[in-house]
Structure 1
Amino acid sequence: MRTHTPLPSLLLLGSLTLTAACTSATANSSGTPTTGARAGSSPSAVRTVDPSKIKGLRIVNDNSEQSSCPFAASYPDVPGAQAMTAAMKKYVEGLLDGFRESACADGSDSTAGRELNISHQFLVASGDVLGVRLTTQDQTSASDGRSTRTYWYDGKAGAYRTPLGLIADGSRDAFADALKAELKGREGVDEADLNATFSDPGFLASSLGDVSFAADGALRVEFGRGVVGAVAAGSYLVTVPAATVTPWLSAFGKRAQQQTMAPSTSLDLGAASTPTPAVLTHTASGDDDTDCKKVKCMALTFDDGPAAPETATLLTYLAQYNARATFFTVGQNVAAHPELVRAEARAGHEVGNHSWNHPDLTKLTPEQIASQLDRTSAAIKAATGKAPTLFRPPYGAVNSTVRAATSMSPVLWTVDTEDWKYPDATKVAQTVITKAGRNDVVLMHDIHPTSVAAVPEILRTLTARGYHFVTVSHLRATL
């Protein structure tokens, strides 16, 4: 990836103002491609969870911004649920290590077109029950690579539960029979193979990866591609009505069902009191009157946040030098930490859109692109009262289809610090100090502590050299 464009910054900024009319569309919850799941009955509605209500929540993020090594991963770290967090961490880091080794190590084109994306969704966060779904999109030439896994935590017992833990030990045979009966006759399912699969006593324990409750108490079970049917047929969704499944649930399963149907006002997993990290209360004194035609300007941009506590620390550093920046935020992180996004806007910074969960938008349908961007814009507006006008496409990947799906203006960069690859504060600071120049747009990430730690040296050194730090929109408007 380029570290500095040979074109003048003014030309780059001007070329990125091309947009098209917004397309109204709908897509699935993640905005990413899905398989053709087959449901036996009409799927029950799924209740949404507001993650901003979870005290002490931290979203663990690890993303790249390089088109030759495109990956993005996130999972929640909730106080009190350490064992569940450890299980998610092991799964995510295993996938990331394998992807980096195969796709990122030598920069070759042998895995061109591959992308790894792991996003999260809260199923329930209420009372003493926590449930999370991780959705993995590992695009290969063989299939769409989508898979899902659910993780459960029992606060009463202080224990991590697998999906099968929702079912009582003595009811698992009856539960398995019900699933098998529901799957028989579906397109792509061979009855003989299905019987053989379910006859394996360890099948449910090893293959029951995604189990959750709907708002009406029904149990939703999704079997991944190739688990119970032909690979080409995709995934299979089985919905078991509440009246049928409730007698089969374990004590924890019944609490998880109840907390999904009628959520409590708070989540208590028995963790020690977690103090809420302080958020900067600095308020900008007014509009920025810097004239970039007369003075040296630079636009620092920070992708993938907000992150706690890193973004709050960064806001403090910026305020100390009266510097303004542009934050390209990821929607699922905005939903978790709207208070940080409000603090960004209140301090005079610009808040932009970086998609909901960081997929390569050029690989999505127009409807999925619109979903990714529209959901994120709605979350930003809910936090700040103002919808964003700029977006940064993940990996810098943008084409005519992406531009046509939104009225926002795309923003790339002229200096890439590659801070996601080199977690070294000194190296990041020196990259900016030595390579960035007048009117440059610098790419950094506020999800990395080392990147945030580099900012004071950047601001101190370049301020002494006469630089003013402005938002991308201000830089565009004054050139």
Structure 2
Amino acid sequence: MEYRRKRQRFALMSGAAVLALALLAGAALRAALPAAVTAEAEVPLLPEDGEQKLIALTFDDGPRRSTTTALLDGLAERGVHATFFLIGAQVEGNEDVVRRMEAEGHQVGIHTYDHVALTGLNRADFDAQVGRTRALLSTVLGHGDFLLRPPYGMTDASVKAWAECPIIIWSIDPEDWRDQNTPREVEEVVSQARDGAIILMHDIFPASVDAALQIVDRLHAQGYLFVTVEELFAARHISLEPGKSYSNAYP
């Protein structure tokens, strides 16, 4: 299966990439011993004392040219990689932004075509949301290996059976859509941050872009290294499996 082959190659590459980034940050990334993982991957490895703290910053609902481009500029200035779960309907006209994401080391994933809940759909409607977006992103990026984030984090047996890729949820959600209050979002995320966390934000709001960059600066000062979702799990030796849901890589 194409995803599994690429996943194996990625695990080898990302380990070296994360190590290099950690050295630049002044902290060596040390490998841990394998550990059992539950079906939902809620029991990752325990980092050794002094190991680099890793955290994944993820964004839903884009791309939006104005805000997403500003975010990419800010992340590039800080040397930070993030994961973007994209709406298929938003990709048309923003193909260059999507290509820039991947070219600059960010990970691109699927967030359906029209931002509809996937639970309860029949197979044709599911494919119109997920398969159509996968095909669109494949045309833009030249490959078909994308993680899935279901809108609202909602899954059921059919979603897991039809996903054909790992399903990524989150462990920190400041609900930045609620009031677009930058200071509140920053404090909520920073106060909940921990090694292995996955942060959910939205790159379609200017306040969220400002908050995300402030979060990066605050957590960098606390010794965190920002990585993509795949880099996070690869660094903890956790294999992401199609059809299974993951919300963190906690020790």
Q: Of residues 416, 419, 422 in structure 1, which corresponds to 2:173?
A: 416
Query: 1:456 Cα deviation (Å)?
Result: 2.2
Q: What is the distance in 2 between the residues matched to 1:362 and 1:297?
A: 31
Paired letter, 1:298: I
Residue number in structure 2 paired with 1:301 = 58
Q: Of residues 165, 183, 186 in structure 2, which corresponds to 1:429?
A: 186
Q: Does 1:377 align with 2:134?
A: yes
Is contact 1:304-1:330 (8 Å) kept? yes
TM-score, normalised via structure 1 length: 0.39
Q: Of residues 136, 142, 146 in structure 2, which corresponds to 1:389?
A: 146
Is contact 1:380-1:388 (8 Å) kept? no
Query: Structure 1 residues 417 and 388 mapped into 2: Cα distance closer, same or farther (>3 Å)?
Result: farther
Query: 1:360 Cα deviation (Å)?
Result: 0.6
Residue pairs, 1:452-467, within 5 angstroms: 452-467=209-224
**CA distances 1:365-393 after superposition (whole Å, capped 9, x unpaired):** 12211221111111112222222331000
Query: 1:364 Cα deviation (Å)?
Result: 1.1
Q: What is the distance in 2 between the residues matched to 1:405 and 1:434?
A: 36
Residue number in structure 2 paired with 1:399 = 156
Question: How many residue pairs are counted as aligned between the two chains?
Answer: 195
Q: What is the distance in 2 between the residues matched to 1:287 and 1:330?
A: 28
Q: What is the distance in 2 between the residues matched to 1:387 and 1:306?
A: 18
Percent identity between matched residues is: 36
Query: 1:332 Cα deviation (Å)?
Result: 0.5
Q: Of residues 325, 342, 360 in structure 1, which corresponds to 2:82?
A: 325
- Equivalent residue of 2:170, what SS? coil
Residue number in structure 2 paired with 1:345 = 102
Instruction: Point out the structure with max Rg over C-alpha.
Output: 1
Q: What is the distance in 2 between the residues matched to 1:287 and 1:468?
A: 12
Residue number in structure 2 paired with 1:260 = none
Is contact 2:58-2:82 (8 Å) kept? yes
Query: 1:441 Cα deviation (Å)?
Result: 0.3
Is contact 1:366-1:402 (8 Å) kept? no
**CA distances 1:30-74 after superposition (whole Å, capped 9, x unpaired):** xxxxxxxxxxxxxxxxxxxxxxxxxxxxxxxxxxxxxxxxxxxxx
Is contact 2:55-2:226 (8 Å) kept? yes
Q: What is the distance in 1 between the residues matched to 2:163 and 2:216?
A: 34
- Equivalent residue of 1:332, what SS? helix
Query: 1:310 Cα deviation (Å)?
Result: 0.4
Q: Decide which structure has greater helix share.
A: 2
Is contact 1:417-1:432 (8 Å) kept? yes
CA root-mean-square deviation = 1.7
- Equivalent residue of 2:65, what SS? coil
Query: 1:327 Cα deviation (Å)?
Result: 0.3
Residue number in structure 2 paired with 1:448 = 205
Q: What is the distance in 2 between the residues matched to 1:430 and 1:383?
A: 36
Q: What is the distance in 1 between the residues matched to 2:68 and 2:156?
A: 30
- Equivalent residue of 1:360, what SS? coil
Is contact 1:422-1:428 (8 Å) kept? no
- Equivalent residue of 2:178, what SS? coil
Q: What is the distance in 2 between the residues matched to 1:450 and 1:435?
A: 19
Q: What is the distance in 2 between the residues matched to 1:475 and 1:303?
A: 18
Paired letter, 1:387: G
Residue pairs, 1:225-244, within 5 angstroms: none
Residue pairs, 1:198-209, within 5 angstroms: none
Is contact 1:298-1:467 (8 Å) kept? yes
- Equivalent residue of 1:415, what SS? coil
Query: 1:336 Cα deviation (Å)?
Result: 2.9
Q: Of residues 95, 106, 112 in structure 2, which corresponds to 1:355?
A: 112
Moved over 6 A (4+): none
Q: Of residues 122, 130, 145 in structure 2, which corresponds to 1:365?
A: 122
Query: 1:446 Cα deviation (Å)?
Result: 0.3
Paired letter, 1:349: H
Q: What is the distance in 1 between the residues matched to 2:152 and 2:93?
A: 23
Query: 1:423 Cα deviation (Å)?
Result: 0.7
Q: What is the distance in 2 between the residues matched to 1:436 and 1:381?
A: 33
User: What stretches of structure 2 of length at least 5 have no aligned partner?
Assistant: 4-15, 23-28, 31-46, 237-251
Residue number in structure 2 paired with 1:104 = none
Q: What is the distance in 2 between the residues matched to 1:388 and 1:327?
A: 14
Q: What is the distance in 1 between the residues matched to 2:163 and 2:136?
A: 16
Is contact 2:18-2:235 (8 Å) kept? no
Q: What is the distance in 2 between the residues matched to 1:386 and 1:348?
A: 15
Q: What is the distance in 2 between the residues matched to 1:416 and 1:388?
A: 25
Structure having greater relative contact order (Cα 8 Å, sep ≥ 6): 2
Residue number in structure 1 paired with 2:240 = none
Q: What is the distance in 2 between the residues matched to 1:383 and 1:450?
A: 28
Q: What is the distance in 2 between the residues matched to 1:372 and 1:450?
A: 28
Paired letter, 1:454: A
Q: Decide which structure has greater strand share.
A: 1
Q: What is the distance in 2 between the residues matched to 1:288 and 1:324?
A: 11
